Amino acid sequence: MTARLPAAERRQQLLDVALRVFGQHGYHHTSMNEIADRAGVTKPVLYQHFRSKRELYLEVLRDVGGRLRDAVGKAVATAEGPRQQVESGFLAYFRWVAATRGGFDVLFAGETRRDREFTAEALKVETEVADAIAQLIVVEGLSDERRRLLAYGIVGIAETTCRHWLSNELELDVDELAAQVAELAWAGLRGLRP
């Protein structure tokens, strides 16, 4: 068993372990016993923090979604101009996926998309990222609704590229891929007209 941790630290440790296990085996093929064993705690300790596997999975979705939003948000906030925002955003997204493949799978893979409540949590992440991107699309005469729609397109570029990359287990330079996808998106954004 692991050392006694303060409740907040233990909860985060359990979320981190659960993310790895759910990322490897999916929701349906993961048991609370396995998560407790991998975390080095008893099952009752796990249940002190999460009443059910479903509650734990939803919290993992919220936690990992927050990490992705934070990574992209911080990168874009420190960029010097529009082109750098595009480059920094894609770079942060692709680096996050490379470092957190299980997180990407949990957020965007099949099991999450087959359950209404899980899908709603994943869609919150997409919506929040798209809303943030929409604020960065500055084209005179372009409506807020159209900017938001285009922002979903940018989110889709990142997500779909990562799906293909991971499902085909492609060995690649993440920074190079991010730069190429950012260039693709930037070329499209530069040409926008209302």
Instruction: List the domain boundaries for the chain.
Output: 7-190
pLDDT band at 190 (very low <50, low <70, confident <90, very high): confident
Domain 7-190 part of CATH 1.10.357.10: yes
Q: What pTM was computed for the model? A: 0.88
Predicted confidence (pLDDT) per residue in 9-53, tens digit = 999 999 999 999 999 999 999 999 999 999 999 999 999 999 999
Q: What is the DSSP letter of 3?
A: P
- Rounded to an integer, the average pLDDT of 138-151 is 90
Place of tokens 């064993």: 37
How far is CA 3 from each of CA 7, 56, 63, 119, 172, rounded to the nearest angstrom? 12, 21, 23, 35, 39
- Rounded to an integer, the average pLDDT of 121-127 is 93
- Rounded to an integer, the average pLDDT of 96-100 is 95
Q: In the chain, how many H helices and how many E strands?
A: 10, 0
pLDDT of residue 3: 63
- Rounded to an integer, the average pLDDT of 114-136 is 91
Check pLDDT > 90 for residue 114.
no
Higher pLDDT: 111 or 65? It is 65
158 CB neighbour count, 10 Å cutoff: 21
Predicted confidence (pLDDT) per residue in 39-88, tens digit = 999 999 999 999 999 999 999 999 999 999 999 999 999 999 888 998 99
Q: What is the DSSP letter of 93?
A: H
pLDDT band at 145 (very low <50, low <70, confident <90, very high): very high
Check pLDDT > 90 for residue 112.
no
